């Protein structure tokens, strides 16, 4: 039985790995766009019905305008790299929602929400482009589907632990299950999520640069975010996101790459 579980896990990993055109890395994905997009679109529609969408204001228009520029930048990059059909099935939408929460998110398939609480920190179009570039990149990299796939593997591993501990005492079984749960969360799932955040930063910087926004401005935004958090974030190893210091240091390293990529499209920053 244990051999069958290991074989199944290895087979799933082999069959589910695909190359992300934006990073060049192989990614784990058991869930197709045709499966996840309809559910995401439905949840997005329900969310909009249950929350106050801001329309007709300068801020709402800015969210839509910058979002479209980022989307267009992604299309330009994909076309230039022979991936014209990568966005088939995406249905882009950008909404500003009234909330004090300092946040924004993107559902699979391109449904994006910006909370009004983040606008004092974005301050201008470049700050908003930093946020939208990051969120759009989560959708482009299929991070939602990857997290679902990783969750399925985590559950498969839990089954394997149960089988392996089947002949042991109930107390030992509980200890092994708890150890697996903590180990897989801290050692696998959280680093997996932090990796997604770093990928979204990398792709987002490139997209905002191609859209004409100086990626140097991303540093200003994340420094404002760090000041807002006031150092109250959990330790990085217990978080789904990199620490502010790690993120800012990584972005500094990625900016020259983003500018070089934008230069291929005739966008040059002084």
* Residues designated catalytic: 135
- Using H for helix, E for strand and C for coil, what is the string for the chain? CHHHHHHHHHHHHHHHEEECCCCCCEEECCCCHHHHHHHHHHHHHHHHHHCCEECCCHHHHHHHHHHHHHHHHHHHHHHHCCCCCCCCCCCCEEEEECCCCCCEEEECCCEEEEEHHHHHHHCCHHHHHHHHHHHHHHHHCCHHHHHHHHHHHHHHHHHHHHHHCCCCCHHHHHHHHHHHHHHHHHHHHHHHHHHHHHHHHHHHHHHHHHCCCCCHHHHHHHHHHHHHHCCCCCCHHHCCCCCHHHHHHHHHHHHHHHHHHHHCCCCCCC
């Amino acid at each position: 039985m244990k051999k069958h579980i290991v074989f199944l896990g290895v087979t799933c990993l082999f069959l589910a790995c695909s190359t992300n055109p934006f990073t060049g890395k192989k990614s784990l994905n058991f869930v197709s766009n045709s499966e996840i997009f309809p559910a995401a679109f439905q949840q997005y529609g329900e969310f909009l019905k249950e929350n106050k969408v801001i329309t007709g204001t300068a801020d709402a228009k800015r969210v839509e305008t910058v979002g479209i520029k980022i989307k267009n930048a992604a299309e330009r990059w994909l076309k230039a790299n022979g991936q014209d059909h990568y966005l088939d099935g995406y249905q882009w939408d950008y909404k500003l929602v009234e909330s004090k929460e300092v946040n924004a998110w993107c559902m699979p398939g391109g449904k994006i929400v910006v909370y009004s609480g983040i606008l004092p920190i974005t301050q201008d179009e470049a700050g908003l482009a930093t946020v939208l570039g990051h969120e759009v990149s989560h959708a482009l990299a299929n991070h939602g589907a990857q997290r679902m796939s990783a969750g399925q593997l985590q559950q498969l591993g839990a089954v394997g632990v149960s089988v392996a501990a089947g002949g042991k005492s109930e107390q030992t079984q509980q200890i092994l299950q708890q150890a697996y749960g903590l180990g897989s969360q801290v050692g696998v799932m959280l680093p997996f999520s932090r990796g997604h955040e770093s990928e979204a930063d990398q792709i987002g910087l490139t997209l905002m640069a191609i859209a004409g926004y100086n990626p140097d401005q991303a540093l200003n935004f994340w420094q404002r975010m760090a000041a807002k958090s006031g150092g109250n974030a959990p330790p990085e190893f217990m978080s789904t996101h990199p620490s502010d210091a790690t993120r800012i240091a990584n972005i500094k390293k990625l900016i020259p790459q983003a500018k070089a990529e934008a230069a291929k499209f005739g966008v040059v920053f002084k």
